[in-house]
Amino acid sequence: MEDMIKTKTIHATGVCVAHKGILIIGESGSGKSTLALSLIAGGAKLICDDRANLRLKDDNLIMSKPPTLPSALEIRGLGLISVPLLDEVTVDLIVDLAKASGARLGGHEKQLLGIDLPCIHGRDFYRLSDALLVWSKFGGFQTI
């Protein structure tokens, strides 16, 4: 029973940029794979598309691709495309494409499997992929 609590499969896409794992959540058609494509074009590697296996390891949330999914990114109107892949990564940030942020400085969090993680509300976020690439490559968040 305890293992069931420590693992979960969710509707999501995951990428890794500069050793930082980004879990993208949202409804079907919300742009998860499109955002992942933009991040991959900027140097990210795909972890999973459409669904993500989540598990706890040493108080970290780890994401990986369910074994039944193809090792590719599905782009509507184009199909499955081959992209650089990684097997798993620690989740450092969640992007929620269902929510828009009214906060100028963000500061949102989301809890998954008991782990609190920073969460960007990404709906209608202009140049979100650029912001995520810069965040990943140059040090994350700063507090004021």
Enter the DSSP assignment of 31. Answer: S
**Number of alpha carbons in the 13 Å side-chain half-sphere of residue 118:** 16
Three-class SS of residue 39?
helix
List residues with catalytic annotation. Answer: 11, 32, 50, 104
Is 109 in contact with 119 (CB distance < 8 Å)?
yes
Is 107 in contact with 101 (CB distance < 8 Å)?
no
**What are the CA-CA distances from residue 38 to residues 5, 18, 19, 42, 113 (Å)?**
33, 15, 17, 6, 28
